[in-house]
């Protein structure tokens, strides 16, 4: 994962950005809840006012009914104090209730936007970033931001207001002692500044380490079979333990920093309180301060202890939210590279003939020293099937990925019926192009939902026909048929089963252009022959571009293109190339290079319950 300068306070200072800059940028997510926030603030201030009024009532009680021994007045003021306490409790309840709903709504909106942005980002972004880092951003980081924007900001405003109002009342009660309490804000400010500077760096380090740990957990879960097969459990456990220990040490360091600061923030008001008690008692003894005023002064000052003590938590939560906002903005600030161009059009399926043309196409991955594809000129006529053959690393899969615009060409252009692919709306293009990859991806959903990803309105007869074509009728024999929920990434199925379901998904959408990246590699010879026979019927109605590794699959193609070092060096019929192109003959003869035997355990036409699917009902 790339390291961003935003996480480094020194780099941020050099760039001239404030630590809360990215947090401030999230304010649009607060706007829908601005009215609620105002009412929350009003309720909070009203509750605080009720709490502040209680010491003033106590002053009247002590200097009035208590001093004069008037029982009636004592009951009246006592009842008023009780009423104020009840009002404060009710206001706190209402505030917390409304606060929680608005906070969760704000978090949900931000999470939806981040997820939608991740879907718009190109595949090379996801290739560079660890999935655990993205997962931690969209889960734990957003929770941190939600806590601060809903609770931290509110209490920061409320506590600062409480502090200012109480200090003004203290100065009004006794100017000298009030100024002393006000002066205690200076060391509090210095302590807070130092704490915020150090805690920000620790927060960023810990959140990055949480992403690293999440990545390790995800990789271990996905590679569990490989880990067990090679007996590498102890090594991976040691690797995880090291990452977890670093996370633990960072967390302990953060806790120690917060504990030290909390102790200092607690010390300042308590020392001030001790001085006030001594000086106030002396003033009361000299008659400069009544007993009621002294009690009210001390009671009001005690109300400052919570705002001061909570200051450490608020700063800590704010710094964590600031670093979380940095991490979120690292994703949101990454611009989607493949988007609809201005004036992009949509092509209806019935209007597409399927003539696919590559015109001097070149492609390079970002940061790569050399290009993967160079000067590709290739035309596939409507209804024609072209097989793409080449050694490993020649660029076959990359070339196929350019058709649905998983990547965009670096130079040149690709056209469909004369329309540059970049002039078509992405949604329209991807409805016209059906894709099946060598390593198929199935989602943790039912078989039916996986099949109808590209065509949610497909009927039962169409699904049955697509499964029959892909020799995937085993889906009906699963514990709950098409309602069976496959495991994460379809790992509860064999490689051959996953490939056949992915092929059925590709043809179910009735695409104008079919792009198949060695979709039969995991099938046994018998099943492959059945699938190829069915594919011939489908390929008559679609323009198809196939990457093949097995010589037997080449028979599906009308023409063959030989790709060498990123260039098309020969095209023609299989028999022609075999007779006239030595490199083509050598490639087909080099079976370890071009073809590979079916993997152990590749499934045949059907599977039995004894295969151990580990499936659950959708």
Taking only the tens place, the pLDDT of each residue in 119-133 is 888 888 887 888 888
- Domains annotated for the chain, with CATH where assigned, are 22-332 (1.20.1560.10), 382-408+418-617 (3.40.50.300)
Q: What is the DSSP letter of 410?
A: S
Q: Pairing between strand 484-485 and 433-436?
A: unpaired
pTM: 0.72
The count of C-alpha atoms lying within 13 angstroms of the C-alpha of 66, restricted to the half-sphere facing its C-beta, is 13
In tens, the pLDDT along 193-251 reads 888 778 878 888 888 888 888 888 877 776 776 777 767 778 888 888 888 899 888 88
**Rounded Cα–Cα distance for residues 330 and 138 (Å):** 12
DSSP string, 155-192: HHHHHHHHHHHHHHHHHHH-HHHHHHHHHTHHHHHHHH
For residues 249-275, b (16+ Cβ closer than 10 Å) or e, as one string? ebeeebeebbeebbebbeebbeebbee
3-state secondary structure of 371: coil
Rg (CA), the chain: 35
**Rounded Cα–Cα distance for residues 507 and 452 (Å):** 10
The pLDDT of residue 455 is above 60 = yes
- Count of positions (residues) in the chain: 618
Per-residue pLDDT, averaged over 511-537, amounts to 76
Asked if 352 and 419 count as a contact pair (C-beta separation under 8 A), the reply is no
Instruction: Return all residues near 378 (Cβ < 8 A) that are at least 6 apart.
Output: 357, 358, 386, 561, 568, 571
Question: Alpha-carbon torsion 575, 577, 582, 588, what sign?
Answer: negative
Per-residue pLDDT, averaged over 153-174, amounts to 85
List strand residue ranges (DSSP E) for 548-585, in order. 559-564, 567-572
Using alpha carbons, list the distances in angstroms from residue 462 to 90, 484, 515, 538. Answer: 61, 19, 20, 13
Using alpha carbons, list the distances in angstroms from residue 324 to 92, 146, 525. Answer: 28, 10, 52
Q: What is the DSSP letter of 470?
A: T
More confident residue, 125 or 604: 125
The pLDDT of residue 617 is above 60 = no
């Amino acid at each position: 994962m790339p390291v961003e300068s935003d996480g480094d306070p020194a780099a941020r200072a050099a760039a001239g950005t404030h630590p809360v800059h990215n947090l401030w940028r999230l304010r649009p997510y607060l706007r829908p809840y601005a009215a609620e926030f105002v009412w929350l603030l009003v309720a909070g201030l009203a509750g605080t006012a009720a709490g502040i009024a209680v010491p003033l009532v106590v002053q009247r009680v002590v200097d009035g009914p208590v001093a004069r021994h008037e029982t009636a007045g004592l009951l009246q003021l006592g009842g008023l104090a009780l009423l104020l306490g009840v009002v404060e409790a009710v206001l706190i309840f209402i505030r917390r209730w409304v606060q929680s709903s608005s906070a969760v709504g704000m978090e949900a909106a931000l999470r939806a936007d981040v997820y939608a942005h991740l879907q718009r980002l190109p595949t090379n972004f996801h290739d560079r970033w660890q999935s655990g880092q993205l997962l931690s951003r969209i889960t734990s980081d957003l929770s941190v931001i939600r806590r601060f924007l809903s609770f931290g900001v509110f209490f920061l405003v409320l506590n600062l207001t409480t502090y200012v109002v109480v200090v003004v009342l203290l100065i009004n009660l006794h100017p000298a002692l009030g100024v002393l309490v006000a002066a205690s804000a200076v060391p509090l400010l210095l302590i807070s500044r130092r704490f915020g500077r150090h805690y920000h760096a620790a927060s960023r380090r810990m959140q990055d380490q949480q992403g690293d740990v999440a990545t390790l957990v995800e990789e271990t879960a996905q590679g569990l079979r490989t880990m067990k097969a090679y007996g590498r459990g102890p090594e991976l456990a040691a690797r995880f333990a090291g990452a977890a220990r670093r996370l633990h040490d960072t967390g302990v360091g953060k806790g120690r920093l917060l504990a030290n600061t909390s102790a200092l923030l607690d010390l300042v008001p308590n020392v001030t309180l001790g001085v006030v008690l001594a000086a106030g008692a002396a003033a009361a003894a000299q008659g400069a301060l009544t007993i009621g005023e002294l009690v009210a002064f001390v009671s009001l000052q005690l109300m400052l202890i919570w705002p001061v003590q909570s200051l450490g938590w608020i700063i800590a939560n704010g710094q964590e939210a600031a670093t979380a906002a940095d991490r979120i903005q690292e994703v949101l600030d990454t611009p989607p590279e493949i988007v609809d161009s201005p004036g992009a059009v949509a092509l209806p399926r019935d209007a597409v003939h399927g003539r696919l043309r590559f015109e001097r196409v070149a492609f390079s991955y970002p940061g790569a020293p050399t290009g993967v594809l160079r000067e590709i000129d290739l035309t596939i006529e409507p209804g024609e099937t072209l097989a793409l053959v080449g050694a490993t690393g020649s660029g076959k899969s990359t070339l196929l990925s350019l058709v649905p615009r998983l990547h965009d060409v670096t130079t040149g252009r690709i056209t469909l019926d004369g329309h540059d692919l970049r002039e078509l709306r992405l949604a329209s293009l991807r409805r016209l192009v059906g894709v099946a990859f060598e390593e198929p991806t199935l989602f943790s959903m039912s078989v039916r939902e996986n099949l109808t990803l590209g065509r949610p309105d497909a009927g039962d007869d169409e699904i049955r026909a697509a499964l029959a074509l892909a020799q995937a009728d085993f889906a009906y024999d699963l514990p709950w048929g098409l309602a069976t929920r496959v495991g994460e990434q379809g790992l509860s199925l064999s490689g051959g089963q996953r490939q056949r379901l992915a092929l059925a998904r590709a043809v179910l959408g009735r695409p104008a252009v079919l792009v198949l990246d060695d979709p039969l590699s995991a099938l046994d010879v018998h099943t492959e022959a059945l699938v190829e026979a069915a594919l011939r019927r489908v390929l008559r109605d679609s323009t198809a571009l196939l990457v093949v590794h097995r010589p037997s699959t080449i028979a599906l193609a009308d023409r063959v293109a030989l790709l060498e070092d990123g260039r098309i060096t020969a095209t023609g019929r299989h028999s022609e190339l075999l007779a006239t192109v030595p490199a083509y003959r050598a490639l087909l003869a080099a079976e370890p290079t071009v073809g590979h035997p079916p993997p152990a355990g590749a499934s045949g036409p059907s599977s039995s319950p004894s295969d151990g699917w580990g499936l659950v009902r959708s």
